[in-house]
Structure 1
Amino acid sequence: MRLDRSQAESLLQRMEGRRVAVLGDVMLDEYLFGEVSRISPEAPVPIVRVLKERAVLGGAANVAANLKALGTEPLLIGTLQKDVAGDRLLGLLTGLGISISGLVLDTSRPTIIKTRVIGQQQQMLRIDREDPGQPEAAVLLGLKDRLERALGSASALIVSDYDKGTVNGPVMEAVRTMCAERNIPWIVDPKPGHKALYRGATLMTPNTKEAAELTARPARSDMEVTVAGRALMDELGLKGLLVTRSERGMALFSPQAEHSAPWMIPTEAREVFDVSGAGDTVIAAFSSAIAAGADWREAAMLANAAAGVVVGKVGTATVTPDEILAHYHEQEAN
C-alpha cells in the first residue's frame, strides 16, 4: 500500500505553513570535491586535488532545511559560536528564510563542522571539529527558554540528537513537561547512548543498526525488527516507532495497530547515490505530515517517498514537494 499522487499532493498542501520545532545539534557540513591521480610520497595516502567546495546545513540545521524545503515552517533550537563556521551557518539559515531566533550563543565551544573529502565521487575522509558535552548552565537556560517560545506555536517537535550536547537530561526533562502540557507530539532521531533521555517520546526513528544497539538484539529480519521494536517501545513507553531499514524500506509500529506487528513499507528508492542525511529527510517529512493532521501510515508513506528521492542525490540534501510528486508520477508511469 502507498499513497497515490493525488493523496500525496493533498497532504503536501496541508503541510504548507505548519510550524514544526527542531531541537538538536546544529552543525555545518562542508564538502571538498576533487580528483585523485597519485599517492603522496610522504605517506601511503591518496592526494586529492580540490576542484570545488560546498557548505550546507548539517545536523539539526539540515532537519530544519528539510522542513523548509517541504513547505513547513521550522523553528530551530540549538547552539553555535560566533566564529567563521557560525557566521556561515547563520548565512545559510537566513538565506533559506529559516529563523535564527531559537539559537543560543555558546562561547565555550566552537561551532561544529564536519568536513568530507570526496575524490572520484567517493567519500575518502571525514574531519570533525567539535567539543561535545553538556553546555554550561546559562546556555541550558537559554535552550529551555527558546524551547518554550517555539512550542507556543508549533504543532510538533523533532529532537535531532547527534550526541554533541544539546540533547541532555535537563533539556529533555523540559521537553517532556512542555509537550505534555501542550499535547504536542515529539519525535526523536536517536543516539543509542542517550536511550534513557527519550522515555515517553511519541515516536522514534532509529535505523536498523541503532535499533539493534538500543535493544541489544538483532534487527535485520522482519521478525527480529518486530521483537526488537516491541521491546524498545515497552522499555521506553513510546507510542510508536518507525524503523528505517535501508533497502528493505521501513517498519512502522503505530497505536492504530496496537503494536501487535509492524506495518512493513517497501523502499521507494530507484537508485541510491548517498544516504547522508536521509534520516533527517525521513523525520522532517513524517513530522510535517503529523503536524498537518495525517495519520501515522500516511506520514510514514510520505516519509518513505521523500527518502526515495533524497538518496538519489549526492551529499546532504533536501527534497521539495515538486520532487516528491514527480517521483510519484514516475512510479505510477512504471
Structure 2
Amino acid sequence: MASSNFVDYVKIFARSGAGGAGSAHFRREKFVAFGGPDGGDGGRGGSVVLRGNSQYWTLIHLKYQRHVFAKDGEAGSGARSSGKSGEDAVIPVPLGTVARNADTGEIVGEVTEDGQELVLLPGGRGGLGNWHFKTSTNQAPRYAQPGEPRQEGAFILELKVLADVGLVGFPNAGKSTLLSVVSAAKPKIADYAFTTLEPNLGIVEVRDGRSFVMADIPGIIEGAHEGRGLGTRFLRHIERNSILLFMIPATSENLRNEYGILLNELTQYNPELLDKERLLAVTKCDTAGEEELAALREQLPEGIRTVFISSVSGYNIPQLKDALWETLRHTNDRKP
C-alpha cells in the first residue's frame, strides 16, 4: 500500500491569517494643522478553505503537504486606506471529502459538489482605524483596534467515494471482473483474495446515453467492522453509494449465510446503511450446472431482488444493468 496512488486519509495542520491592525494616523497637510484622525482599517486575514474539484479523485496531493498556512492581513494606513486582505489558502479536494477536527473528532463539514467551499478556519478580522472612534467629545482618538488573531488546528480529511452503485462482497467474489466487463475501468484481477486494495470507479452505460457510476470496493471479511482484513478503511466508501450490489459467487457453500455475514458487517459499522436499496448478484454462474443453480435458488435470502450472472460469459449482464438502472431511478425519484 505504500506505493499506492490512492490516498483517502490525511491529517493536516492548518493556520488562518491574522487580521491587520487598524491605523491611528492623523491627517497632516500644508495649511491644515489639525486635520483629525484618518487611520484606515486593517485587512482581513486569509481563511483556510476546502474547495471541491471534480478533477481530483484522491488526497495524494496532500500526502506531503501537511501544513497549510493562509496569509496575514496588512495594517491600515493614512487617508483612511484599508490594508490589503490576506490571501486565502484554498485546498482542492475530491468530491466526497469529509473534514473533522483531529482533537475532538467533530465533523466540520463535507464537500460533495464541484466548486463547493468549506471554511476550515476563518481569517481574523482587520482592526478598525482611529477615525471610527471620533466623537463630539473625543475629536482626536489616538488609538485603533488591533486585528483579530489567527486560528490554527489539526484536521483529518477522509475521502468517501461518490458512486451510484457500490459492489459489496467477500474477497474474490468477482467484483473487479464485473466492473471491467460493464465499464472501461481496468481494475487488477487475479484468483486470490484482496486483489483490490483501493476503490475503482467505472462508468456503466445502459441505453439511450444513460449511465451511472459503479465503485468496486475492496473485499469485506467477517469482523471487518472491528478492523479485520482491510477493516473500516474502505467500509466508509460504501456510505456514499446510492445502491449496494451484494455479490456472492455460485460456488458459495451457503449463499444465505454469506449474505447475512455481509449485511451484519455493514450493520455493525453503520446501521444507516440498511436504509439503502440493495440487490444481490449471484456471480460465476458459468461454473455451476442447472442442478446447482436450482439449489442456490432455494437458498436465496428473502426481500432482495436477485440476478444470476456470469461476467466471463456475459450471462444476464444486460439484465443486471437494467435492474440497477431501474432501482437507481426509483431511488432518485424518492429523494426530496
* TM-score bin, normalised by smaller chain: under 0.3
Higher normalized helix content (fraction of residues)? 1
Q: Which has the higher contact order (CA 8 A, sep 6+)?
A: 1
Normalization by structure 1: what TM-score?
0.26
